[in-house]
Amino acid sequence: MRLTEEEAQARLGSARVARLATAGGDGQPHLVPVTFAVDGDLIYTAVDYKPKESTNLRRLKNIRENPRVALLADYYDDDWDLLWWVRVDGWASVVEDERALQHPLDVLAGRYEQYRDRRPAGPVIVIQVDRRKGWSST
């Protein structure tokens, strides 16, 4: 069953993790799990302190080359009556300015205790939502 915009927004806001899809100028898709926070028609996800091979992340490079992104949150249960997913399509930007980072990081810290204990240094990916689409089995 298709979700309304309001239902999709509510389910997205309840999800703790999502998958961020980017593609660079070469068109090669890249998908990574992310923590995120919804702020109206904006979604924030930060480059945080979790171990990474490099700070030169492919998702950042891809967004700089091609700002179109998708974010997918879903819920799975062996009771298939509980299944749902929400996909957001939008335009992303990479924010590195220290002052511009503060509000997105505040919103993320409000959602994740780990970010209150150890605030990310950034950068932050800001997604301007174009469209929300969702489905639920019931």
The pLDDT, as a whole number, for residue 51 is: 59
64-91: per-residue pLDDT in tens?
999 999 999 999 999 999 999 999 999 9
More confident residue, 29 or 138: 29
Query: What is the strand order of the sheet 37-39 is part of?
Result: 29-34, 18-23, 68-75, 84-95, 124-136, 42-46, 37-39
The pLDDT, as a whole number, for residue 49 is: 76
133/64 Cα distance (integer angstroms): 25
The pLDDT, as a whole number, for residue 138 is: 86
Percent of the chain clearing pLDDT 90 (strictly above):
88
More confident residue, 128 or 56: 128
71/34 Cα distance (integer angstroms): 9
21/18 Cα distance (integer angstroms): 10
Is the CB of residue 47 less than 8 Å from the CB of residue 120? yes
Q: Residue 131 corresponds to which amino acid?
A: R
Give the list of residues 6+ apart from residue 133 with CB closer than 8 angstroms, or none: 2, 3, 8, 86, 87, 88, 89
Question: What is the average pLDDT value for the chain, to the nearest integer?
Answer: 94
The pLDDT, as a whole number, for residue 53 is: 66
Is the CB of residue 130 less than 8 Å from the CB of residue 87? no
The pLDDT, as a whole number, for residue 121 is: 85
Q: Which residue has the tokens 């080359």?
A: 65
24-69: per-residue pLDDT in tens?
999 999 999 999 999 999 999 999 876 566 667 999 999 999 999 9
The pLDDT, as a whole number, for residue 55 is: 66
Domains of the chain, CATH where assigned = 5-132 (2.30.110.10)
